Structure formats: C-alpha cells, structure tokens
Structure 1
Amino acid sequence: MKLIDKIAARESTQPFYTFEFFPPRTDLGFENLISRISRLSELNPLAISITWGAGGTTRERSIELASLTQTEYGVDTVMHLTCTNMEQGMVNDALRSAKAYGIQNILALRGDPPRGREEWIPTDPRFNHATDLVKFIRSSPEFATEFCIGVAAYPDGHGDNLLDEEAELTFLKEKVDAGADFIVTQLFYDVDRFLQWLKRVREKGITVPVIPGIMPIQTYSSFQRLTKLCGTRVPQHIMDALAPISHDDQAVKDFGVKLAVEMIQRLTRDGDVPGVHFCTLNLEKSVTRVLELLQWTGASCPNYNKLIAETSGNTIHAPASVDACTLIVSPVTATNTAAQGLAKAPSSGSEAGRGELNNAATWDDFPNGRFGDFKSPAYGVQDPWGGGPPAVRSDAVSQWGNPKSLDDLTQLFLDYLHSKISSTPFSPTQLSPESRMILTHLERLTKRGWWTIGSQPAVDGVSSSDEILGWGPRSGYVFQKGFVEFFCAKGDVEAIERRVEERGKGWVHWFAGNFKGECRGNVPEGGRNAVTWGVFPGQEIVQTTIIERESFLAWKEEAFSIWSEWASHYRPGSEERKLLEGVRDERWLVSILHHDYKDTEALWTCLLEEP
C-alpha cells in the first residue's frame, strides 16, 4: 500500500513510526538482518525503508532486501533510489523491479558523489537532482501512478553546505511541486530549531506530511562521527549532559534512549508531525526501548524506572537561553581506521547466560565499526544512509600538499604520527590516545615505508573505566591483542611472510591483499581472530572486535578506493596523480596481529627486531 494512503487512512490518533535499514556488507550480516527485521516487524511499523547506498553501490542488495521485506514479511517497503551512478536505463530497471515485487513507495534522492569524485556529477544527464528523479517518475506512463514518492529534507542544512536555508526550502518546494507525497528529514537533535524550520516549511506552502528522522545515540564516538558527517547541530546542553558519561557506554546508550523519547514526545505534541522515522543503523534494542517507553507498542519497558533514575541527573530539555551550536568533532568508532585505533563495539549489558545465538536482539547492541563482527547486520555501517566513509574533500587535501614521490608519502604519514597534520585519507581524526602508547613502533614501521593506518597495543586486563582503553559497563576488565595495519611493497609482504614463519611460532596471524584482488595470509580457512574482549559482572565474555577473511576483504576494497579518490583531486597526468595511482596499483595492504596479549612487545619484536 502507498505510504501516503496509509497515513491518511490511520484511525488511531497515536503517531506512526517507520524503520530504516541498509544492506549489510557481508553475506552473514545480510542473513542476520532478515531475522532482525522479522522481529522488529512485530512492532507494527507503518512501513520500513531500505537505503540505496553511496553511489548506488548496494543497488543489487537493496532491491533484494526490499523485495524480501515486501513479499516475505508483508511490510510496506520504501525503497531508496538515487541519481548517483544511475546510467540510462538503470532507473527504469530499478523501478520495474520494485513494481514487480509489489513495492509502491520510493524515496527519491540525489545521492552522494561517487567514490573518486569531489563534486557530484550526473552519470545520466537527465538526473541532476532529486527533483529530476521525481519528475521522471511522475511523467512516465509506466510509473506515474504506481508509486508514492518521498523526498529528503535537511533541518540543519545539507552536508554540502552550499545553500542557505531559503534556497534549501525553495528546492524542497520544487521537489514537492514535482510530485513528492511526503518528506523524511535527516537526523537532528535540536527540537527547537526543527520546529522553527517546520514552521518555515509550512509558510513556504509545503503541505505534505513531514516525518522527522530520529537516531537514538548508540555510543558517544558514533554520535560524534555521525553528527559531524551529517552536519548536525547539537545543543550545548546535550553535549554537557554527555560529557561526564562519555566513557560509560551503557550510560550513553540509556541517555540516548531517554533523549529520543523526550524529543519524540515534544515533536508530536508541539509540531505538525504525524509520525517519526527511526534510523536504526541495523540495530534494534534502542528503538524497541524507545517505543516501549512511549507505550506505542502495547508493551512496557521493564527497566523504565531504572532508566529514568540513572539518567535523571542528565538534563535533556534545554533552557530557553541555550542556543544551538555547531558540533565540530572527529569520528572514532566506525571510521575506516578509527584514527589508527581499532573500533570497538561495547558490551550491551545483556543478561548472564544469554549469548549471541540465544539473544540475537542484543548481541551486537552497539555499532561495530570496521573491526566488529562480520556476521552482524550492523557490520561496516558508516552513515545513516548506509554509505561508505566520508569522501576526501579538497579542504582536507590542502593539508597533505603535493606528494610526488614515495619519500613524500612516507613523510606525510610521519607528520601525522607527529601531529604535524591532523589527518590522512585513511585516518580522518588525530592519532588515537591508545596508538600514542605504541608511537615509537609506528614510527619505525613508517620510516621503512610501511605506512601505518590502523593499530592497537596489547592489553592484559585494564579496567573498563580506563579513559583510554576502557569500554562497556563499569566494574569490568578489557583485553586486546597487539595489531597493526599498513601499506607496503610486494617484496615486503614476502619478507613478512618469511619472518612470521621463522619467528611467529604460531602466535602471529596476518592477511595481505592488493588492488588487483590477490589475497595472502596464514589464517586458517574459516578462522576468526577475536582481538578485543571484555569480562563484566553478570554476563558472558564479550568479544567485540573480530578480524577474519571476509571483513578484511570488504575493507581492502574500500582502502584501495581511497587511493583512487585521493588521486582524483590532482589533475590527470600530474606527478601527484601518477604517484597515488601507482601506489594503489602496486602496494599491498597488510593486517597483522600477535595473539600473546600478555607480552606487550611481542608483535613489535616479531616485526622489527633482528634475530
């Protein structure tokens, strides 16, 4: 059924809600997401939506996932569709597939720039903007009446930062006038600002339903990353409330649930808002708790009093004098490299005796980042629209200069380690505090021309409250194995292989891969290396960071595409572009870890010390 008709036909005065999912990057993640969607469908959302992915990169999986939710589970599905990388005929093909599966709802988006381009350039000249996509559908005899069409809006402004608010509203009005039936907004946290923006939307003559996008805070670091990526304005009182609990993952998650509840209550009470749209990040526990606290599902939250008590000291409503402020922070948890530190997925605080097979709703309760569990539906999530890591932008390129030789690149990575520059294309934030603990080793590797992009020190039972290494609930202990990841020449890979065979003594596992698709290593078939884990009261051992072949290959593909993207910022034929494309074509990505977490020098002795 068309979403606009369902909204109009609702008999209940209770606001509706919709859920958004993205196609996972791994096969097991995809399979497990289907089960997760099945469970969440029991909460009776008005519809669910499936993202298209950055640059249309997930279109096959998007169509497959949307077809399953629509036909197998009977949940009305909104399929995202972007203009990016959509060559002539591909829009028609996608719409015909949707029609064939009984999907009647499309969210029409322009999409992000394809990987390797700084600016958005249409692949098909007919599709420059989302407005063109709406017009195309509405003018097509084949599709004009088949689909209900939604479009996106940005209460805090679009991430491109190219237009003022009035221009943004003008473009939004054009999309609606072209035939859009409803609007879904990007995530936001400033309710006052949203309500002011919604008033201006109505004054513009836009009358279609506006559905606000709500994203419960999962972890402090993912909140930082996503708000920066989306250009979200965060009120100072929220930042002040998060500051004292930022190192307590469960407290942050509880705060995020309560904040979402209060936002939704105010939006539905004070605004012209018929329902809300949850950006789930393919996770389910927080969304379920929010709906239970709102008493919208017919169930109650068993931990309601505990949640309120634990977060009662964290003021959520802003005083009238508090203005919104722009959050300028850096990503940590779910970036490609977590600024050299491995991204960790904190414990969910689940009940004792309920492991991942028996408690599938919560075993990946927090965003996993690149180095999480490859079978998680949330594995590899980077942004709320299901895209990849942030693009290399020209303002970032300016600090990296004009590398024209391998020595220039070595110096660039050393400058990053020495904090002379604040980022590299592979580490978008400053060097993490835990990587500073092994700085001398990273320097030695980089001076060899082994450009380090990910690392963590070995840790044997540090308190989970430790500000640098801690994660998860308090009163626990965390452990991790020494790890490092870098780019090097093929000859170096062969030398590393010999060294591991001679000196590793079974303690060292490694992967290596190149742009051409070759992969080497000594991890057994089906082997999975748990490299970060925690022990907490009242629950099983929690393994949060796992490295295995499928996740390495997924990251390898992205890693080499970053070289292509970086190269694209220099003119064709230039020394810089030739260098970067040559590195992409010839270098290998190496991921190596040492299992002896009790010996903090074991990895570095194996790699760096002479026999």
Structure 2
Amino acid sequence: MKLSEKINAHGGSRPFYTFEFFPPRTNQGFENLVARISRLATLDPLAISVTWGAGGSTKDRSLELAGITQSHPYSLATMLHLTCTNMQEGLIDDVLESVKDRGIQNILALRGDPPRGKEEWIPSDPRFTHAIDLVRYIRSVPEYSSHFCIGVAGYPDGHPDSPLSEDAEIDNLKAKVDAGADFIITQLFYDVDQFLRWVKKVRAKGITVPIIPGIMPVQTYATFARLTKLCGTKVPKKLEDELTPLKHDDRLVKDYGVNYAIEMIRKIHSDGDIQGFHFCTLNLEKSVQRVLEGLQWTGAVNEVSNKLIADIPAPLTENSQGTEFLITPSSAANNATSGLVSFSKTKTKNEMGKGEVNDAASWDDFPNGRFGDFKSPAFGNQDPWGGSGMTRTDIHPQWANPKSSEDLTRMFMSYLESKITTTPFSDGALCPESVTILPQLKKLTQRGWWTVGSQPAVDGISSADETFGWGPRSGWVFQKAFVEFFCDGKDADAIEAYIAEKGQGWVHYFMANGKGDFRGNVAGDGRNAVTWGIFPGSEILQSTIIERESFITWKEEAFSIWKSWASFYRPASPERQLLDEVAKERWLVSIIHHDYKNADALWTFLFDSELGF
C-alpha cells in the first residue's frame, strides 16, 4: 500500500510513525535484523524504510531486505531509499523494475552522497543529477507513475553540501513536490524551535504534502557527535551542555537520548501541523521502543528513568573470581565465546567498545563500540548511508599536507603530544586512558608504526572509575592490552615471525593490507575478549571482542580513510601519491596480549625484542 494512502487512512488518538533500517554488513547481522524488525513490527509502525548505500553499494542487500519485509509473513509497507549518486547508467531503471516486481510501492528519492574514496559527487547517468530528476522520471513513465508513492528529503538545518540560502533550498523542495513528490521526510535535527520555524516557512511556500520529521534518539555520545557533524545538524546549546557531562557513561547517555526524543516529539506534535514521525533506528531497537512507551503510544506504560543499579558488589579476589578467571595462555585466549567486537578508528577509548549485552534481544544496551558484535544488526553503523565519513572541511591545517612517511610520523606524533587534536583516524583529543600508555604509544609511532587504536591492561577496577569505567556504576571492569597500528610490509613480516617464535600462546594478532592479504594466528572463528565487566544481576558483559570478521571489516574502513584523504589532493601531487601508496602498501596490525594482570606484558613483549626498538 502507498504510504500517502496509509497516512490519509490513519486514525486513532496517536500520531503514526515509521522506522528506518540499513542493510547489515554480515550475513549473521542480516538474519538477526530480520528478527529485530519482526519484534519492532509489534509496535505497529505505519511503514518501514530501507537505506541505499552510496553509488548503489548496498543494492543487492537493500533490495533483498526490502523484499523480505514487504512480503508475507511480515507484510510491512516498505519504502526503499534510492539515490542518483555515482549510479551506473541504466541501473536506476533496473532497480525500479526490481522494486516494482517485489510489490514495493514507496520510494524515497535522494541525490545521495559520494561513496568511499570518491572525490566528489559524479552524475554517472546524465539523466539524474538531482533528486528532482528521479522524481520527474518516475512520474514520466506511466507504469511507474501509477505504481509508486514518492518521498523526498527536507533539511530543517540546511543541506550540509549546499551553499544556497534557506529560502532557495525551500524553493528547491517545492520544485520536488511540484514534480510529483507525495511527502517529505526530514534530515535528523535536535533544535525543535528551528524545525517548527522551518515548517512554517515551508507551508508559506505553498507546500501542503505531509512533513515527517526524522528523529534519531541519541544512542552514544560518539555516534551523536559523528552523525551531527556528517549531516550538518545544529546542536542546541542546552543539549550540548546537558549531554557533554554524561558522555562517558553509556547508560546515562542512552537514557538522556530517550527523554530528549520524547520531549522533542511532544513539543512538535503539540504544534498541530505534524501528524507522524520517522525514527532513524541505526538498527537498534531499545531506544525507539522506550521512546514510544514513554509517549504511551504502544499500549504499554513504562516509566523512562535514569535509575542505575544501586547494589555494590564486594571487591573481587582470586578466590571469588572462580576458575574462569585464572589465567593461562589457553584460558586467557579462549575465554570469549560471545559478545561484542570493537575496532576504533581512533586512538581514544571513548570511541571504542563499551559493552553491549551478549543476548541478541539486547545487543544495543551499551552500543559505544565502533562496530558491535558482527552478528548484531547494528554492526558497522558508523555511517549507515555508505559515505566516506570524511569531507574536505575535515582536513586539519596542522596535518601539514604530508609528502613523505616522515611527515605522517610527525603528524601522528603531534597528535600524541597534543599539538593537534585530530587525525584522519581520531575525531577528538587523546583520552585519559590512552594517556596512561602515552610513552609506549610514542615509542611505537617514532618507530614508524602509526597507532590508531589501543588500550592498557586493567585488572578489576570499579566501573565508576573516571578513566577506565563503563556501564552501570556498580561493577568491576577488566581489560587486556592491545594495540593497532599501520606499518610497512617488512615490519609486518618481522612481527609475524617474532610472535610465532616468542608468543607462547599469550599473544594473538591480526594483520591485513589494502590489497586484501590477511594473516593471523587465531584459529578458525576464534574470538578474543579484551574488555569485559561484571555487574550485579547481569551476565558477564564482554564489551570488546576482537575476531577475524570484524577486523577485516574495520580494515576496509581504515584503508578507505587513507583513500578518502588522498582524494582531496590533485592526482599528480606528492600528497596524493604518498597517501595512495600508503593505502596500497601499508599493513594494519592488531596485537593482543592476554595477561591482563600484568600491565606491562604487551609492552615488554614488544620492546624487549629484535623488532628495532
């Protein structure tokens, strides 16, 4: 059924709502997302939408997911996002035919973003350079025009890539509606007053189709900061002032995000114009469910609160921990059968794994990891639209236009020395946890091993600790030391040989290059838990697990960052040649030492060696 028809037919005492999902990167994640959508379907959304990766990068998975949710037994009215970006000529026709054959009647027409590593938006099919071209084309073909309901995007905070004034952008929006769009879904926003002012200006232009605001509850501070920057979202000072003090406490951030979303929706709905809301779920379910319950729109009345578990467990001892915590090379390496994987593209722990519960229904309790369990539907949710995650405006002047490996070493050293606050792999300044191993990180970087992820060993520190704590403030947290860095092929060979000779089962590694070569000493589907927590009334939470599939996914992300950075320089420039060479020849290496009771174990192993330190 067309969404416009469902909106017109919608009745009852509450507004309608829709849910947005993106195709997961892994088969396990895809299967588990279908189960998650099935659970969320019990909340009675008017429709769901499926995103489309830049350049059609998720074409097959997007079509498959949309086809599944549209068909029996799910029978959910499904909307497929469709972009013009870098689409091969003829592909849009193929997609529209495929969508029509699947019985899908709703399209969200977008221009889209460049795929990873592309310098700029390229209209590969000359018929489609803007979303309005897609709208006009669908309306010009009789079998498409009668079949499809078309939505378009609105930008209450302005389009991040547009130099146009707000009035000019609204004129463009009206042109899309006049071309045949049936409804508008907005980009995410957090300033309700600005949104309501924008709606009045849109209506004053004569645009009468439904406007559906995009609501993205704050899940983690890192995700909030990254996506608001990516989307050019204006953050109200009140929101920033209230959220910043909570940013290291995953549960408080999540609770705050739920309450803020509820307040936004109530204020918007009370204004009278808006009758429905579009939830950007990031493939997570709990926050959306809690928001709807807090609004009492689901039939359930659950109190939304910031309560934390108050029981404080007794300090752990060798005897109270049990045999599973007695460390031997085999038990330390293999005491990870489930949980979460996190590979941070930053050197800061606050961008890394901070504990999702291992049970499939509650994977998103603490989704502060860069990815998440590779079985989780939210795995790899840092940029669900498939963009590069980097823009020209991200280029920091103190990155100094590197022309040699020595220049890159100086840049990474400047970051460690706090002379600059970002690198292409670090969105913010070095966190306090990384400062505790700063001499070791500097030593690696001086060696030409550019560190992009790390953590020190921790043995039973309070989860309330300001530096190492995470999760509920009533437990104890543990960490194995690990480090990730880029090095050249010769050093990668030496590291592999040294670990094979001297590791004695205590040291595991993964390494890969941009060409697709992979090495590691973790057997089969083995997974290394490197961060875990013990909390009252809960199973052990393994918040960071390093295993092959997630490492390879992070490797693809990491090398795409080099390629994106390179693309901002002209092809013949020394900077472009250097960064392209790094993307082709360097190896990303991850090394884990399992003796978490010895804070110096990893560093002693690396530095008391023949590796050139």
Same fold (TM over 0.5): yes
Match of 2:322 in 1: none
Match of 1:37 in 2: 37
Is 2:460–2:478's contact at 8 Å kept on the other side of the alignment? Answer: yes
Q: What are structure 2's unaligned runs of at least 5 residues? A: 309-340
Match of 2:542 in 1: 543
Query: In structure 2, what is the Cα distance between the partners aligned to 1:594 and 1:158?
Result: 46
Change (3 A) 1:116 1:356: closer
Match of 1:222 in 2: 223
Match of 1:21 in 2: 21
Match of 1:263 in 2: 264
Deviations 1:197-242 (A, max 9, x none): 1000100111100001111122233222222222222222223333
SS of 2:4's equivalent in the other structure is helix
Query: In structure 2, what is the Cα distance between the partners aligned to 1:116 and 1:247?
Result: 32
Query: In structure 2, what is the Cα distance between the partners aligned to 1:491 and 1:335?
Result: 24
Query: In structure 2, what is the Cα distance between the partners aligned to 1:368 and 1:259?
Result: 19
Cα drift, residue 394 of structure 1? 4.9
Change (3 A) 1:222 1:565: closer
Match of 1:247 in 2: 248
Deviations 1:336-382 (A, max 9, x none): 5134437445457xxxxxx744xx32133233533531111111111
Q: In the alignment, residue 562 of structure 2 is paired with which amino acid?
A: W
Q: In the alignment, residue 177 of structure 2 is paired with which amino acid?
A: V
SS of 1:234's equivalent in the other structure is coil
Match of 1:294 in 2: 295
Q: Within 5 A, what are the aligned runs for 1:114-129?
A: 114-129=115-130
Is 1:334–1:343's contact at 8 Å kept on the other side of the alignment? Answer: no
Cα drift, residue 523 of structure 1? 0.8
Cα drift, residue 458 of structure 1? 1.3
Cα drift, residue 545 of structure 1? 1.2
Which range is displaced more, 386-395 or 16-25?
Answer: 386-395
Is 1:460–1:597's contact at 8 Å kept on the other side of the alignment? Answer: yes
Match of 1:380 in 2: 380
Match of 1:198 in 2: 199
Query: In structure 2, what is the Cα distance between the partners aligned to 1:367 and 1:475?
Result: 19
Query: In structure 1, what is the Cα distance between the partners aligned to 2:401 and 2:260?
Result: 45
Change (3 A) 1:219 1:340: closer
1:234 is aligned to 2:242: no
1:338 is aligned to 2:339: no
Query: In structure 2, what is the Cα distance between the partners aligned to 1:342 and 1:593?
Result: 19
Q: Within 5 A, what are the aligned runs for 1:314-393?
A: 336-341=344-349, 343-347=351-355, 356-357=358-359, 360-383=360-383, 385-388=384-387, 390-393=389-392
Query: In structure 1, what is the Cα distance between the partners aligned to 2:575 and 2:306?
Result: 56
Which range is displaced more, 132-141 or 199-208?
Answer: 132-141
Is 1:215–1:278's contact at 8 Å kept on the other side of the alignment? Answer: yes
Deviations 1:430-449 (A, max 9, x none): 22322222111111111111
SS of 2:172's equivalent in the other structure is helix
Q: Within 5 A, what are the aligned runs for 1:101-140?
A: 101-140=102-141
Query: In structure 2, what is the Cα distance between the partners aligned to 1:604 and 1:519?
Result: 24
Query: In structure 1, what is the Cα distance between the partners aligned to 2:362 and 2:70?
Result: 25
Deviations 1:531-559 (A, max 9, x none): 11111121111111111111111111122
1:557 is aligned to 2:556: yes
Match of 2:317 in 1: none
Q: In the alignment, residue 536 of structure 1 is paired with which amino acid?
A: F
Is 1:382–1:388's contact at 8 Å kept on the other side of the alignment? Answer: no
Match of 2:580 in 1: 581
Cα drift, residue 31 of structure 1? 1.2
Match of 1:275 in 2: 276
Change (3 A) 1:583 1:518: same
Cα drift, residue 388 of structure 1? 4.6
Change (3 A) 1:14 1:257: same
Which range is displaced more, 155-164 or 479-488?
Answer: 155-164
SS of 1:143's equivalent in the other structure is helix
Deviations 1:105-141 (A, max 9, x none): 0011111122223432222222111111111111123
Cα drift, residue 592 of structure 1? 1.2
Match of 1:70 in 2: 70
Is 1:342–1:455's contact at 8 Å kept on the other side of the alignment? Answer: no
SS of 2:398's equivalent in the other structure is helix
Q: Within 5 A, what are the aligned runs for 1:388-537?
A: 388=387, 390-394=389-393, 396=395, 398-537=397-536
Q: What are structure 1's unaligned runs of at least 5 residues? A: 311-332, 349-354
Cα drift, residue 419 of structure 1? 2.0
Deviations 1:527-585 (A, max 9, x none): 01111111112111111111111111111112222222222222222222222212222
Query: In structure 2, what is the Cα distance between the partners aligned to 1:479 and 1:164?
Result: 51
Query: In structure 1, what is the Cα distance between the partners aligned to 2:167 and 2:546?
Result: 47
SS of 1:97's equivalent in the other structure is helix
Query: In structure 2, what is the Cα distance between the partners aligned to 1:544 and 1:395?
Result: 30
Which range is displaced more, 264-273 or 217-226?
Answer: 217-226
SS of 2:583's equivalent in the other structure is helix
Query: In structure 2, what is the Cα distance between the partners aligned to 1:419 and 1:244?
Result: 22
Query: In structure 2, what is the Cα distance between the partners aligned to 1:246 and 1:569?
Result: 32
Which range is displaced more, 61-70 or 424-433?
Answer: 424-433
Cα drift, residue 274 of structure 1? 1.3
Match of 2:212 in 1: 211
Query: In structure 2, what is the Cα distance between the partners aligned to 1:610 and 1:241?
Result: 48
- Give the number of aligned pairs: 577
Cα drift, residue 422 of structure 1? 2.3
Instruction: Give the CA RMSD over aligned residues.
Output: 2.1
Change (3 A) 1:336 1:545: closer
Q: In the alignment, residue 185 of structure 1 is paired with which amino acid?
A: T
Match of 1:97 in 2: 98
Query: In structure 1, what is the Cα distance between the partners aligned to 2:150 and 2:210?
Result: 12
Query: In structure 2, what is the Cα distance between the partners aligned to 1:427 and 1:170?
Result: 38
Change (3 A) 1:107 1:223: same
Cα drift, residue 46 of structure 1? 0.2
Query: In structure 2, what is the Cα distance between the partners aligned to 1:238 and 1:436?
Result: 28
Query: In structure 1, what is the Cα distance between the partners aligned to 2:425 and 2:252?
Result: 30
Deviations 1:156-197 (A, max 9, x none): 112225222112111111111111110011111111111111
Match of 2:164 in 1: 163
Is 1:480–1:532's contact at 8 Å kept on the other side of the alignment? Answer: yes
Match of 2:320 in 1: none
Is 1:17–1:277's contact at 8 Å kept on the other side of the alignment? Answer: yes
SS of 2:451's equivalent in the other structure is strand
Is 2:18–2:48's contact at 8 Å kept on the other side of the alignment? Answer: yes
Cα drift, residue 309 of structure 1? 7.8
Is 1:334–1:380's contact at 8 Å kept on the other side of the alignment? Answer: no
Cα drift, residue 94 of structure 1? 1.1
Match of 2:53 in 1: 53
Q: In the alignment, residue 4 of structure 2 is paired with which amino acid?
A: I
Query: In structure 2, what is the Cα distance between the partners aligned to 1:285 and 1:394?
Result: 34
Change (3 A) 1:468 1:53: farther
Deviations 1:273-294 (A, max 9, x none): 1110111111111111111122
Is 1:335–1:343's contact at 8 Å kept on the other side of the alignment? Answer: no
Query: In structure 2, what is the Cα distance between the partners aligned to 1:334 and 1:186?
Result: 28
Residue identity over aligned pairs, in percent, reads 64
Match of 1:314 in 2: none
Match of 1:177 in 2: 178
Match of 1:319 in 2: none
Match of 2:589 in 1: 590
Change (3 A) 1:401 1:125: farther
Cα drift, residue 397 of structure 1? 5.4
Which range is displaced more, 423-432 or 339-348?
Answer: 339-348
Query: In structure 2, what is the Cα distance between the partners aligned to 1:507 and 1:368?
Result: 27
